Every structure is written in structure tokens, then in C-alpha cells.
Structure 1
Amino acid sequence: MPKKEIVTEQISGIDIMDLDDAIIDLWENDIYAESGMGCTGPIVLINIIL
């Protein structure tokens, strides 16, 4: 798992069965991510620096 960061954005539309795999794939690419539950279902929370 990469170093913890403050998450600022969300990716919605993730199937609950794929949520853990999505987080692990992001971690393997050195992108910090957390899973959560949004208003419409599962989400992936990430930090986007513009």
C-alpha cells in the first residue's frame, strides 16, 4: 500500500465485486486509493493533483 494521502476525488460506478481488485491495482501502480460507499453505491477515493 502506498503512503496514505488525503483523498480529494471519487470514481463511481464500480461493481462491488470489483472494488477490492480496483484498489489493489491502483496500489500496485503506486496510486493511493481507498474504497467507500457513496450515494449511488461503491466508490474508489483517490487524490488528484492538478
Structure 2
Amino acid sequence: ECVMLNKGPFVVKTVKTLADILLRHASHRDKKRYIHRPLSIASYFIEQKEM
């Protein structure tokens, strides 16, 4: 992935936020395959449909 940042007062906070996103996203990857966890909002709609 690639992100372009401009110089400015928010660049440090932006880099910290991007680092956090990448750390959380790393758990969704196994070698070169992406493994996504189920979305909780999707399970809510499935439960509603089954009723």
C-alpha cells in the first residue's frame, strides 16, 4: 500500500494512526492470503432475517 502525506501540523498524528491501522490489519493476513473476520453488522442482519 502507498500513502502520500503533505507536510503539516497533523503529519505525526497521521503516521501514528496509519501505524495503528497496519498493526490491526496484520492479524487479517496469513502469509500472502488475506483472512477477514466476519463483520458484526452483517451477523446482525443475518440474525434478523432468520427470525
- Fold conserved between structures, TM > 0.5: no
Larger RCO: Structure 1 or Structure 2 (Cα < 8 Å, ≥ 6 residues apart)? 1
TM-score relative to the length of structure 1: 0.30
TM-score relative to the length of structure 2: 0.30
Greater strand proportion: 1
Greater helix proportion: 2
